[in-house]
Amino acid sequence: MTLILTASELQALADMPGTITAVQRAFAGLSRGTAVQPAPDSLVLPSSDARFLPMAALSEAEGLASVKLLADIPANQLASLPTQRSTIMLVSQLTGETLAILDGKVPTRVRTAAASAVATKLLARPGSTTLGLIGAGSLAVAHVEAMLAVLPFDKVIVWSRSADTVSVFCDEVGHHRLNITRASSVREVVESADVLCTLTPAIEPLVRGEWFRPGLHVNAVGSRPRPDHREVDTTGMVRARVFVDSLATAKAKSGGLIIPVAEGAMSFEDVKGELGDVAAGTKEGRLGEEDITLFNSVGIGLQDLAIGRLLYDAALNQGIGTHVELNN
């Protein structure tokens, strides 16, 4: 039987601390060779700017193979539709049975924030207390929850082009009793933060590396998976010790990395490692208090597999979802 889980059902099942643990375990598995994460293909037709990305993964620890089909359609914005939609399929590693089909909205948001939390846990200064957010939408709300699970932040400074979006953000995170500052510029956020999360679908860089203070950690999260989109400029990438979720994936679809390499300002060999290497203890992350570290987060299918395992198990335990016999 295959379990079908909708977005509203998944929202009730999401568990941030558990997801952080699962995502860190998945990253370490990739480094140790007990998980497989191929570079994704990007399916494009000449007649459209839409891209379709099948994101596959396989994990021995989780006993699953998975694939998420991500549809990235910028033109949807003109019709007031989501510009990204996705569906995740979970398959038993042992039998090949299709165990579950999940709407991808909630898992993608939660696992993305969880990956930033893992990077922050492994790369940020332990004494970090000020969280900076560029962007104030639902992903920013998820990042606050994730960041508080790994470090004792007491201040948040946030910027968005939309004052209304910032107001909604403040309402949604108000129960955390944080000292929240509404910044007047991106630069104000960057120069104030101990940990900076960039969460916008920017095409051209919003964040300048010349604004980076010694000791900063950056989670560059928001840009679309396209080689010409980025949030952080070349100077920022060059100044930082850069880590990625998957080097093969970053080489294929991260403008944040591809553009500085094309400009000759850095090479792919300048990337210090994959985050899983730090999680597995095979490579060093932050070397000192003054280091600037940066997690270039593109998003990989193994993260979807990790949270998919949690959500599937929780749904079975709580009797949530709809069972369908696909073989009939």
Span 170-200, pLDDT tens digits: 999 999 999 999 999 999 999 999 999 999 9
Does 204 have pLDDT greater than 90? Answer: yes
The overall average pLDDT reported for the chain is 96
Per-residue pLDDT reduced to its tens digit, 220-238 = 999 888 899 999 999 999 9
Of the candidates 65, 56, 150, 69, the residue with the CA atom closest to the CA atom of residue 104 = 69
Q: What is the pLDDT of residue 42?
A: 87
Q: Does 2-107+302-324 match 124-299 in CATH topology?
A: no
pLDDT band at 103 (very low <50, low <70, confident <90, very high): very high
Q: What is the pLDDT of residue 199?
A: 97
What CATH class is the domain 2-107+302-324? alpha beta
pLDDT band at 41 (very low <50, low <70, confident <90, very high): confident
* Range 307-326 average pLDDT: 97
Mention every residue, 6+ apart, whose C-beta is less than 8 A from residue 208.
187, 190, 233, 235, 236
Distance CA(115)–CA(283), nearest Å, equals 18
Does 147 have pLDDT greater than 90? Answer: yes
Tokens of 106: 């909630």
Distance CA(105)–CA(150), nearest Å, equals 23
Look at the chain and count its residues.
328
Q: What is the pTM of this model?
A: 0.95
CATH code assigned to 124-299: 3.40.50.720
Of the candidates 107, 164, 170, the residue with the CA atom closest to the CA atom of residue 144 = 170
Which of 106-115, 224-233, 236-245 is the least confident region?
224-233
Which of 32-41, 114-123, 285-294, 311-320 is the least confident region?
32-41
Per-residue pLDDT reduced to its tens digit, 70-86 = 999 989 989 999 999 99
pLDDT band at 125 (very low <50, low <70, confident <90, very high): very high
Q: Where are the domains of the chain?
A: 2-107+302-324, 124-299
